[in-house]
Amino acid sequence: MIIKPEFHTFLLTAIIGSIGAFIASLLGIPAPFLSGPAVAVTLSGLSGLKLGIPSYIRNACFVVVGISMGTSVTPSVIDAAKTWPISFVVVLVAVVIMLYVAYWILHYGFGYDRTTAMLGASPGHLSYIISLSADTKSDLATVSIVQSVRVLALTLSVPLIVEYFNLVSTEPPIINPPMGLVTLVLTIIASLAMGLLFLRLRFPAALLLGGVAVSISSHITGFTEGGVPNWLSLPVYVLIGCLIGTRFSNVSLMDVRKGFIAGLVVTIAVMFIAGVIAWMISNITGVPLNAVMIAYSPGGLETMAAMAVMMHADTAYVGSHHVLRLLFLSVLMPLVMGKDARNKGDL
């Protein structure tokens, strides 16, 4: 039997990520199964290794994360959602503020052209932004680097901020017993089917939302109970951490130095804005600050969803805010880009 090169690449990536997770766990780093692999795979990629995760494994991970989010939604969570409308409005305002602050930094601070700066400044929706960049007169490489640095930096910094400032709920996390194997398999199959339907409807993060929808509906109705077992969830978190790091695979640090620094500066700025607004919203709504901080952080939806589960934050609150942010950005970015979003012929 011939083993495809893609499998060798994935196997190497998984091994490096697993070692990173193990070391992060020994060091007591928050969210070690995300942050450890992200750092290990990033450093390995910058050293010249070709790393990657096949799309079908990545998609399977997204389905499992969605199911994990849905298992924690209870009637009490639905009742608490009555205090969220103001938070939904403010998160949209926060997106606009973060977008233009980041744009100002990239355009005036680092000298990038307007189109590149605006696309690089987008607070989230990485895959959509990269696709949009390919159809505009922008520096695609720079946009990719700045956006990838944002995702990596947020993956590493948010757990540290939550841990360092003790931004946690005073209530102990609800620990669900693991699902039975048959229930788990049926839930995964149903979630995949729902995710494919959402994909046809062009929903953002469709496979993750498919898992969320099936898991919430089956748990609220009492049809199923229990959480995703650790033997499945922990490897999934490791692979998501690896996925973040693979964006820097086979890339020279010297080649991306300016974009790397720009991405770090932008991330620090938007995190400060997100932190201030999150503190205000937590005080107004009473939602624990760890959940608001993760919900307002402009990281990747799948990454922030996994982080919410690992940090015992309110996954329904976090997930709903990030989905709203992505939907808003899908409409907002073409509007703020104007002709640049539709015209590449002026190069």
Asked if residues 321 and 301 have their Cβ atoms less than 8 Å apart, the reply is no
| Rounded-to-integer distance, Cα 110 and Cα 105, Å | 7
Q: What pLDDT does 258 receive?
A: 85
- What is the three-state SS of the chain? CCCCHHHHHHHHHHHHHHHHHHHHHHHCCCCHHHHHHHHHHHHHHHCCCCCCCCHHHHHHHHHHHHHHHHCCCCHHHHHHHHHCHHHHHHHHHHHHHHHHHHHHHHHHHCCCCHHHHHHHHCCCCHHHHHHHHHCCCCCHHHHHHHHHHHHHHHHHHHHHHHHHCCCCCCCCCCCCCECCHHHHHHHHHHHHHHHHHHHHCCCCCHHHHHHHHHHHHHHHCCCCCCECCHHHHHHHHHHHHHHHHHHHCCCCCCCCHHHHHHHHHHHHHHHHHHHHHHHHHHHHHCCCHHHHHHHHCCCCHHHHHHHHHHCCCCHHHHHHHHHHHHHHHHHHHHHHHHHHHCCCCCC
Asked if residues 192 and 215 have their Cβ atoms less than 8 Å apart, the reply is no
Q: What pLDDT does 347 receive?
A: 36
For helices 140-164 and 257-285, the axis angle rounded to 10 degrees is 40
Asked if residues 38 and 152 have their Cβ atoms less than 8 Å apart, the reply is yes
Q: What are phi and psi of 227, to 5 degrees?
A: -105, 180
| Rounded-to-integer distance, Cα 147 and Cα 155, Å | 13
Nearest 5°: CA angle at 145, between 240 and 8?
45
Amino acid letter, residue 187: T
Q: What pLDDT does 99 receive?
A: 96
Cβ burial, residue 179 (10 Å; 0-12/13-18/19+): buried
| Residues 108-162 pLDDT 10s | 999 999 989 999 999 987 777 876 776 677 787 788 889 888 989 888 888 888 7
Q: What percent of the chain is predicted at pLDDT more than 90?
A: 37
| Sole residue written with tokens 């969210």 | 31
Most confidently modeled range among 5-19, 264-278, 318-332: 264-278
Asked if residues 304 and 317 have their Cβ atoms less than 8 Å apart, the reply is no
| Residues 58-106 pLDDT 10s | 999 989 988 987 776 666 666 667 778 899 999 999 999 999 999 999 9
| Residues 190-203 pLDDT 10s | 999 999 998 898 77
Nearest 5°: CA angle at 175, between 88 and 73?
30
| Residues 273-294 pLDDT 10s | 999 999 999 999 888 888 999 9
Asked if residues 218 and 187 have their Cβ atoms less than 8 Å apart, the reply is yes
Cβ burial, residue 286 (10 Å; 0-12/13-18/19+): exposed
